[in-house]
Amino acid sequence: MSSAAERPAAWRAAAGLWRRTGVRQMLLQTLVVAAAFVIAGVLAQASIARLSEAGIRRQVLGEAGSMVEEWRQHGAAHLPHTIRKRSRLWRGFEYGLARPDGRLVEGDPDIVVAAAGWREATAGGRTILAYTQRLPDGSWLSVGQDESVQRRQASAVASALWACGGAGVLIALGVSALLYRRTWLRVDRLAQTAALVSAGDLKVRAPQRRAAKADDIDDLARDFNGMLDRIERLIAQVRQVTSDVAHDLRTPLTRVRHRLERLETAAADHPALAESVRQIDADIAETLRTFDALLHLADIESASTPPGMADLADVAARVTDAYRPDIEESGRSVEARFTSAKVFGDADLLAQLVANLLENAMRHTPTGTRIRVVVEADAGTARLSVVDDGPGVPEHLRAAALAPLVRLEPSRNTPGSGLGLSIVAAVATRHRAQLTLGDAAPGLAVTATFPAAA
Amino acid sequence: MRAFAGSSAASASLSLLVVEDDAADAEYVREALTDAGHEVAVAADGPAALVLGRSRSFDVLIIDRMLPGMDGLTLLGALRASGVDAPALFVTALGAVGDRVAGLEAGGDDYLVKPFAFAELKARVHALNRRRANARPATLLQSGDLTLDRIERQARVAGAAVDLLPLEYRLLEFLLLNLGQPVTRKMLLEEVWGFRFDPRTNIVETHISRLRAKLDRPGAAPLIQTVRGAGYVIGG
């Protein structure tokens, strides 16, 4: 049953349990219960031991008194006879009689001593508490009682206490676990709901009980669900507004462009007029590009991880091949090193990510710059990097470089909408990839680290 | 440079159905396509388009996705269900990532986001019609003394082999499949590179000029011609 492979799972389960609400309180309570039992047990045992020793002493003194009485009434010669008789009848006492010089006359040699008072004698596995007194003729009389009977009683009491204590601790643990289990399951369901929402499912809701049974966890679930309702409504509104704006702006612009096209045809005999019509059309096209890029950015940001799977190496190779002639024509060079690396996601969006990074590397570097595109895979991750040996981006400006419409050149007169890297960041986020801008010493290294698919 | 006019010998007259609820826009589209030599029927909403589409046969359907009452996707579904198999081009103001996929899944063959240039619309209508006509793939494509052997994947100019990179081959093949009809930059980006975004660089122009450098002989007219405002064309 307990194979080596099962043990880490058990450890993980135990570690998971430790992190749960109430487990630590529960264990502390159990510890207090156990400590109370231990203290009570120790005290009880001590007082039982004391009581039983006092009882033995009383009985031994009584027996000794009765023996002295025997000696007085029947004389010294009769005492050994009494000892034999009482030993034979077994009244629960041990006896010893010795001459004044300490030599044994009758009884148990282990308890006989030539000194008055109490002492403990151990013999044959027994512990005998014995009282010795000097008789008027100078001989020594010892009476003792075996303590082991009382000891056994005391230890029986102790075992009973331990058993009760152990059972008490187990019951305390079990009852607390049963009580907390329901709480844990409900907290688990809340956490699962939150995880599904983070993964992009806005339709899920946390379970809630009827108002009559509701407790603080239900209140939490209700507020949590209220928050989800609001998030879902807001996202739906943003989508609606986005598509309404897109429709309401594109429809008239379509008409404008179509009028311009007819105007251009009509102006065939006036080259200057036809040219300015083309200019207007080009300006409208440029406005639309920025507008489209903004809509596209909002669209990418509002959705969850797209379905499907793509090989980053294939995507990067396709895009790099497409841009290679352009990069070379511009006086820069590009080299590629690709290792197959599958990721979950949308090949079109990933292609745009690579394209925007390449365009960025072309636009912000001097001629002669070498650009490297690298796709690597290792345990659990797939990495795409676009690295150049151009001037790079100073560390304090790197975060700003990813923000929409930000351009690091203050003049804003290089071409580009300032949305390229924002779209890269949005595509990366949508694919759960980590995007970093680093120093390639010299140059800029942009790396997107994706969770690998299988 | 050759101006692209509807009078080109290779541009067949097609019968087209335009479904567009914006009256002014429908009229512009109708005029532009009529000027290009096509026969155009216009429907302003889904039910009217359904009646028209079932009663006559069209070469290409041009459908606005956002129509009052019955939306474009539902309309195309209904047309497809009643056996209309003409290629369909969705025209839409919705450009979101999911919208295009939804359009293609509903049976659409191509997707054009507003506002578009007429040249783009005309080129795509021709390409859609051509794609259906090319259902049986030709193994040898030809224009003048340029041949493209699709089995050997080999281009020849006047019998002399020309070595092409895989991308250049796909570019030339797509141009030859649309012989005599301009294909736009956007169509090339989608078909040859699989890019559904708009690169801010001249990647199409650069690849075309490299391809030209390999194909054109000194003194002869360029095989690939630029059509201003429209794109590129071979032959015709």
The better pLDDT of the pair B213, B99 is held by B213
Q: Which residues pair with B89 in a beta bridge?
A: B62, B110
On the question of pLDDT at B3 being above 50, the answer is no
Please report how the helices A312-329 and A347-363 are oriented relative to each other, as an axis angle in degrees rounded to 10. Answer: 30
Name the residue facing A351 among B113, B195, B210 (closest C-beta): B195
Residue A29 C-alpha, separation from nearest chain B C-alpha, in angstroms: 56
ipTM confidence: 0.84
pLDDT mean over A152-165: 81
Q: What local confidence, expressed as pLDDT, does residue B9 receive?
A: 37
A325 and B206 within 8 Å at the Cβ level: the answer is yes
Q: What local confidence, expressed as pLDDT, does residue B33 receive?
A: 93
Q: Hey, is the C-beta of A259 within 8 angstroms of any chain B C-beta?
A: yes
With CA atoms as reference, report the closest residue to B108 among B75, B139, B133, B134.
B75
Query: Percent of chain B, pLDDT > 70?
Result: 93
The span from the CA of B33 to the CA of B200, in Å, is 30
Tell me which H or E stretch contains A176.
Answer: helix A148-198
Q: Hey, is the C-beta of A300 within 8 angstroms of any chain B C-beta?
A: yes
Summary mean pLDDT of chain B: 87
Interface test with B, best of A256, A258, A357 (most B CBs within 10 A): A258
With CA atoms as reference, report the closest residue to B46 among B66, B89, B75.
B75
Report helix, strand or coil for A9: helix
Q: What local confidence, expressed as pLDDT, does residue A253 receive?
A: 83
Q: Hey, is the C-beta of A355 within 8 angstroms of any chain B C-beta?
A: yes
Contact residues, chain A, for B193 at CB < 8 Å: 318, 322
Q: Which residues pair with A107 in a beta bridge?
A: A96
Summary mean pLDDT of chain A: 84
Confidence label for B148 from pLDDT (cuts 50, 70 and 90): very high
The span from the CA of A236 to the CA of B188, in Å, is 35
B206 and A306 within 8 Å at the Cβ level: the answer is no
Q: What are phi and psi of A452, to 5 degrees?
A: -75, 150
On the question of pLDDT at B233 being above 50, the answer is yes
Contact residues, chain A, for B188 at CB < 8 Å: none
Confidence label for B8 from pLDDT (cuts 50, 70 and 90): very low
Contact residues, chain B, for A235 at CB < 8 Å: none
Q: Hey, is the C-beta of A246 within 8 angstroms of any chain B C-beta?
A: yes
Give tens-digit pLDDT for B52-77.
Answer: 999 999 999 999 988 888 889 999 99
B93 and A306 within 8 Å at the Cβ level: the answer is no
Q: Which residues in A77-220 belong to E strands, given as ranges? A: 94-98, 104-107, 117-123, 126-134, 140-146
How many other C-beta atoms are found inside a 10 Å radius of the C-beta of residue A326? Answer: 21
On the question of pLDDT at B4 being above 50, the answer is no
Give tens-digit pLDDT for A45-76.
Answer: 888 888 888 888 998 999 999 988 888 888 88
Name the residue facing A326 among B24, B118, B206 (closest C-beta): B206
Q: Which residues pair with B140 in a beta bridge?
A: B149
List, as one string, the DSSP characters of A243-279: HHHHHHHHHHHHHHHHHHHHHHHHGGG-HHHHHHHHH
- pTM value is 0.66
B25 and A247 within 8 Å at the Cβ level: the answer is no
Q: What are phi and psi of A168, to 5 degrees?
A: -60, -45
CA quadruple A22, A24, A28, A34: dihedral positive or negative?
Answer: positive
Smallest CA–CA distance from B22 into chain A, residue = A251
- Beta carbons of A331 and A300 less than 8 angstroms apart: no
Q: Hey, is the C-beta of B207 within 8 angstroms of any chain A C-beta?
A: yes
B93 and A359 within 8 Å at the Cβ level: the answer is no
Give tens-digit pLDDT for B111-135.
Answer: 898 888 888 999 999 999 988 877 6
The span from the CA of A451 to the CA of A98, in Å, is 95
Give tens-digit pLDDT for A203-254.
Answer: 889 888 877 777 888 888 999 999 999 988 988 887 778 777 777 887 788 7
With a CB cutoff of 8 Å and minimum separation 6, the contacts of A406 are A400, A418
Contact residues, chain A, for B31 at CB < 8 Å: 262
pLDDT mean over B11-22: 88
Q: Hey, is the C-beta of A258 within 8 angstroms of any chain B C-beta?
A: yes
Contact residues, chain A, for B36 at CB < 8 Å: none
Q: Which domains does chain B have, with CATH numbers?
A: 15-133 (3.40.50.2300), 140-234 (1.10.10.10)
The span from the CA of A205 to the CA of B139, in Å, is 57
Q: What is the 3-state secondary structure (H, E, C) of B69-108?
A: CCCHHHHHHHHHHCCCCCCEEEEECCCCHHHHHHHHHCCC
Q: What local confidence, expressed as pLDDT, does residue A322 receive?
A: 92
**In chain A, what's the furthest Cα-to-Cα distance?**
163
Q: What local confidence, expressed as pLDDT, does residue B5 receive?
A: 37
What's A333's DSSP letter?
E
pLDDT mean over A316-329: 93
The span from the CA of A362 to the CA of A360, in Å, is 5
Residues 99 through 128 of chain A touching chain B, CB cutoff 8 Å: none
pLDDT mean over A293-312: 77
The span from the CA of A190 to the CA of A217, in Å, is 9
Return the ∠ at Cα A179 (arms to A175 and A182), rounded to 5°: 145
- Beta carbons of A315 and A351 less than 8 angstroms apart: yes
Give tens-digit pLDDT for A86-125.
Answer: 888 887 888 888 888 888 888 888 877 778 888 888 877 7
Q: Hey, is the C-beta of B200 within 8 angstroms of any chain A C-beta?
A: yes
Q: Which residues pair with A343 in a beta bridge?
A: A310, A452
Contact residues, chain A, for B71 at CB < 8 Å: none
Confidence label for B1 from pLDDT (cuts 50, 70 and 90): very low
Name the residue facing A300 among B97, B113, B207 (closest C-beta): B97
Q: What local confidence, expressed as pLDDT, does residue A338 receive?
A: 95
Q: What is the 3-state secondary structure (H, E, C) of A393-408?
A: CCHHHHHHHCCCCCCC
A258 and B199 within 8 Å at the Cβ level: the answer is no
End-to-end CA distance of chain B: 14
Q: What local confidence, expressed as pLDDT, does residue B16 receive?
A: 96
Q: Hey, is the C-beta of A288 within 8 angstroms of any chain B C-beta?
A: yes
The better pLDDT of the pair A173, A17 is held by A173
A257 and B195 within 8 Å at the Cβ level: the answer is no
Smallest CA–CA distance from B113 into chain A, residue = A250
Confidence label for A410 from pLDDT (cuts 50, 70 and 90): low
On the question of pLDDT at A151 being above 70, the answer is yes
B116 and A247 within 8 Å at the Cβ level: the answer is no
Q: Hey, is the C-beta of B195 within 8 angstroms of any chain A C-beta?
A: yes
Residues 366 through 395 of chain A touching chain B, CB cutoff 8 Å: none
Give tens-digit pLDDT for A252-275.
Answer: 887 888 888 888 888 889 999 989
